Structure formats: structure tokens, C-alpha cells
Amino acid sequence: MATRVELEVTDSGFSFTLDDATKGVLDNTTYTLSTGFRDVTDYVVAVSTSRGRNRDLEKFNAGSASVTLRNEARTFDPLNTSSPFVDEMVPRRLVRVFTDEIQQFQGLVDSWKLTYSPTGESVAEITVTDEFQKLAGVELDLAVSQQLTGARVTAVLNDVGWPTYAREIDTGQSTVASGTAVQGALEHLQLVEASEAGLLFVGKDGNLIFRERNSFSSGYVPVVFADDGSGIPFTAAEVSYGTDLLFNQVEVAYSGGTAVASNTSSQGKYGVITNSVETLLASAGAAQDFASYYVGEYGEPEYRFSSIEVTLLGLSPTNQGDVLQLEIGDLVQIKFTPNGVGSPIEKYALVTSLDNDVTVDDHRIRVGVSSLDYLGLVLDDVALGILDNNVLAF
């Protein structure tokens, strides 16, 4: 298993150059035809990446990464004019991280931090943030029509100049209202996300991804994590069971007012716990459906898996590939018998975050998940078509 880190560079620094005594030598491995990126893996001490959200209904933030590089020779010191990277250590250069040729992260450099020791041990740390940050700094003044959520995401991305080749946009199932969007681009897109009850994030390859709710097709085969030999083994499982996701009165704001739904059974046991959701929904009926869904989903405390941790180096190549291919929004199944006591617990879950921690001799991935016990029914599907378990989708 190999992790590769690449830094975006200018052509002048490392490109093959005709008629140059150093850069124009045929068959050399230092100055090659430029790809726009330089492999810095030989200098890497550690890499960590983090993308996603921590809880259901939270908004996604920009993903982040940290890359620590050996720097004893001041290779990554911008004041060392003999360094081949002397003009490359600047903010807003792209950094890409791959493991076994499967991309795990892409983002822009925020800063370089150099640490020197009198003993000569020195490192350079790059902090990186994915391109979600670009949307946070753009203000909209955009006339919009009544349209499906996917069309609204596309309209905003077109307005802010997000490249068409760097998007994966679902059609969406909710209709959002017409009007004029005068607010931050990211703020508006996250309201669209809430209106869909979908997912909006930057993927591991740098694409902006919008996933509609209930987006799984019939026959979708989830990755299985298991402690009984029937799936990918894991080293730790984190479970949440409490009031952090318990509410029994939901107020959904939409273009024409506010829809309210209550779970009276839950209120009788736990008191009234209110949650307010702001949306751009166009109709009262759609807002009422949302409110009713949420009080059904979150009206009782639930035994929820919140994360699974996997040590990749102990897995088979097939299992390693399955974990590395996971993306936010994927469906997984978890089978777990805590301490081998009692009956097995089997649940389906949605991937909501992915964190990588890579060192010279270890690679751990933490897969954050949210419950799918209340996922919409998919007829004739083995996983999502179970009567009295899955519910009718909205």
C-alpha cells in the first residue's frame, strides 16, 4: 500500500526544457514533461485528511488536510534560493493525496509552517483546505426561478463560475421558490441542501457534489463492516445513544410561512424538544412533509453508530480498495456484537465523513456514519425494501 502526495508547481521549475544543459537532458527523471504537479512523497513524514460533518442535519464544512515533510536540507524553505521548490511554496497551490492510485483529497494550500531544531531535525507542515472555501467568499445577487433543487445548485454554480467539469449534481426531488438570492453563495446552496434533505460537499477529487435524498438505486450493494468475518474487519466502533439527536416538534420555514409537526407520544415521555429548519421550499405541503418526517425520524432516542475505524494495513487488497473507494453519501452496512456478548447488531448507515491518518508504518481511516433506520422504502430491494423497517419516502 502506497500513499502519494503531489504539489502543484509552475512549469518553469520542473519541466523538461529543450536545449537546457540541465533540464534538457533526455531520459532524466528529475525534469520531465510537465503535468502541473510534483510528487513530494519522498519527503513525507505524515498525512492527515478530514472531510464531512460530525452529526445528522449539520452543514458540511470545507475539508482539510495536513502534510508534514522532512526539511533538514531546507528543501521547503522559501528563503533557500537553491531549493528546487523556492518559487513553489506559496498559498493557493493545489495539493493532491492518493493511496494506491485512489484519490483521497484535493485542496488549496493555506500556509507553510517551518519548524527547526538545533539538532538538525526539521519539518515543514502544509495546511490545506478544499475548494468549498471559494463559495464562502462569494456574494450572490441572482434572480432565480421556481425549480428543482439540482437546477438551483447548477444556476448558482454557473453564476459564481464553478467549472462545469468539476461538478456532480443530482436532479433533486424538492422544488424551491423563485425570487432573488442576495446572500453568500455557500449560504444559499446550504439552504438548497436543507430543502432537499440531501448532501452538498466537495468530493475527494475536488468536484462539488450534490446528492438528492433517497438517491440509492435498487440493487445498490453496500460495503459491509463486520466483526464476525462476514465483512471488512474494523478496529473500533463508536455508538451514540442519547438526546443529541432527539426532538419531537419541528418547525420548517418555507417561502410562504412555517409548517409545524409534533410527535405527541415523544413529548409525553421527554417533554417538548423543538428543532427549527430553514428551507427554500416552494409549497406548504412540501414543508409539512419535511416536518412530519423529521419528528418521526428523531422523536425517539436511537442506538446509532457514529463512526467505524479501520486499519488498512491489516486488510486484504480487495478490502483496502473497497474502503479507499468510499465517498460521502455512500451506503454501508455494520454488523457488530459488542465484546461478543448478546445478539449481533446489524444496521445500515450513510457515510457522512472520511478521515485519513497516514504515517510511515500505519494508515487508519475513520468512517463517520449516520443512521438509516428511517430511510425511504425501495420496492424489491434487499436492503431498502424491508416492510415494517423502512418507511415510505417523501
CB atoms within 10 A of CB 236: 11
Residues in contact with 115: Cβ distance below 8 Å, sequence separation at least 6, in sequence order: 122, 123, 124, 125
pLDDT of 226 > 60? The answer is yes
Q: Where are the alpha helices (DSSP H) in the chain?
A: 11-14, 132-136, 149-160, 185-196, 264-270, 284-297, 317-324
Homologous superfamily (CATH) for 135-211:
Baseplate protein-like domains (3.55.50.10)
Per-residue pLDDT, averaged over 248-272, amounts to 95
Confidence of residue 379 (pLDDT cuts 50, 70, 90): very low
Q: How does pLDDT run across 317-340, given as a tens digit for each residue? A: 999 999 999 999 999 999 999 899
Adjacency order of strands within the sheet including 257-262 = 257-262, 249-254, 274-278
Fill in the DSSP letter of residue 69: E
Question: Beta strand 274-278 with 179-181: parallel, antiparallel or unpaired?
Answer: unpaired
State the CATH class of domain 3-130: mainly beta
Amino acid in position 261: A
- Per-residue pLDDT, 312: 95
Q: How does pLDDT run across 168-207, given as a tens digit for each residue? A: 999 999 999 999 999 999 999 999 999 999 999 999 999 9
Q: How is domain 223-238+303-371 classified at the architecture level of CATH?
A: Beta Barrel (2.40)
Q: What share of the chain is helix, strand, coil (3-state, %, to 5)?
A: 20, 40, 45
- Per-residue pLDDT, 24: 58
Query: Chain centroid to CA 389: how far?
Result: 28
**CA atoms of 170 and 360, how far apart (whole Å):** 39
Number of residues that this document lists for the chain: 394
**CA atoms of 85 and 82, how far apart (whole Å):** 9
Q: How does pLDDT run across 123-177, given as a tens digit for each residue? A: 999 999 999 988 988 999 999 999 999 999 999 999 999 999 999 999 999 999 9
Query: What percentage of the chain has pLDDT greater than the value 90?
Result: 71
- Per-residue pLDDT, 214: 81
- Per-residue pLDDT, 390: 44
